Amino acid sequence: MTVLKGLVKDGTIGGLNVYVLALLFVTLVWGATFPVLKLATAHLSGVETTALRFCIAALCMLPFALRLPRHTWLDGAVLGALVLVSYVLQAYGLEFISSNRSAFLTSLNVLMVPFLAVAFGTRLTWSVLVAAGLACFGIGLMSWEGGAHFVADAATVLSALAYALYVIMLSSRSARHKARELAAAQIVWMAMLGCAWMFAGAIGTDRLQTLPERMNWEVFAGLCYLGIVATSGMLFLQALAQRHVPASKAALVYAMEPVFAAMFAWFMLAEGLGWRAALGGILVVTAVVFSEMRSNAAAGGP
């Protein structure tokens, strides 16, 4: 414990912001969700995949959901609804496009967040604009890889928009709550709304009756990873870290997601990257590093 306190000083580890590093770890875990979702949506619909992962996550967070204050439930409902819409649209898109393409399109929220934040009273700095533009140019290069599908692409872009709004609202509301309580409220709301959506969509079909047949062990293991690690664990860590990281800067860290997704897609699904995608990945990494360096310089850090 003494060693850890020595490493962590004034919210930094070796001069790097510990909360930015936490968000980077969150992004790494999320990058692995794209190939897992791709495998799951081969058997389940986007709504089914999302609802089931949130049910698993809700079971993990249930102890923290007991006796939550009313204002946490209210904020959790708004944030949870945005995440649910984002995840369902993303999972739907993955039924038709590659996990690489989905990750790149999802990361358009990097461009959306700084400009949407203006409507909430946030001022843009030139470094954020430059880094966001650089990141989006890199994402644009990367998105050339993989086949296009108009409806799936549009759904994924709308998913990015919903998530951009979520990032902004999370930064503005997370300070009002304990991180684990806000994460628990969000997840319970997402589970309830997701199940309602799944049951409503199954009316007049045999989707619920055939669900056990479509659920093999690979799909179940993937849902457990999505629910326990990527949802309950990472939403808690995200809610904790974004108490100390502005929305615009958090969005730039999240720009690393397609880079990590490409790595995992290559390893798990053998989805390759061309030279344009590789160059785009380098630009995304450069944008994140540039943003962090400018932030440290402005704060007088090393």
User: How many other C-beta atoms can be found within 10 angstroms of the C-beta atom of residue 279?
Assistant: 15
State yes or no: pLDDT of 3 exceeds 60: no
Where do the H-state alpha helices sit in the chain? 2-7, 18-40, 46-65, 70-94, 99-106, 109-118, 126-142, 150-173, 179-201, 211-214, 217-224, 234-241, 247-254, 257-269, 275-298
State yes or no: pLDDT of 197 exceeds 80: yes
pTM above 0.85, yes or no: no
DSSP 113-180: HHHHHHTTTPPPPHHHHHHHHHHHHHHHHHTTSS---HHHHHHHHHHHHHHHHHHHHHHHHGGGS-HH
Confidence class for position 227, pLDDT limits 50, 70, 90: very high
State yes or no: pLDDT of 85 exceeds 90: yes
The answer to whether the beta carbons of residues 293 and 252 sit under 8 Å apart is no
List, for residues 245-278, the tens digit of each pLDDT value: 887 778 778 878 888 888 888 888 777 667 777 7
**Which pLDDT does position 4 carry in this prediction?**
36
> In sequence order, what are the residues at sequence separation of 6 or more whose Cβ sits closer than 8 angstroms to the Cβ of residue 82?
162, 163, 165, 166, 169
Based on its alpha-carbon atoms, the radius of gyration of the chain, rounded to whole angstroms, reads 19
The answer to whether the beta carbons of residues 105 and 153 sit under 8 Å apart is yes
More confident call, 25 vs 272: 25
Kindly report the average pLDDT of the chain as a whole number: 82
Which CA distances in Å does 31 have to 54, 111, 137? Answer: 18, 19, 19
List, for residues 158-188, the tens digit of each pLDDT value: 999 998 888 888 877 877 888 888 888 999 9
The answer to whether the beta carbons of residues 56 and 224 sit under 8 Å apart is yes
**Which pLDDT does position 1 carry in this prediction?**
39
Residue closest to 200 by CA, chosen among 45, 75, 40, 41: 45
Backbone region of residue 10 per phi and psi (left: phi > 0; alpha: psi in -120 to 50; beta: other values): left
Confidence class for position 220, pLDDT limits 50, 70, 90: very high
List, for residues 205-216, the tens digit of each pLDDT value: 888 999 988 988
User: How many other C-beta atoms can be found within 10 angstroms of the C-beta atom of residue 268?
Assistant: 15
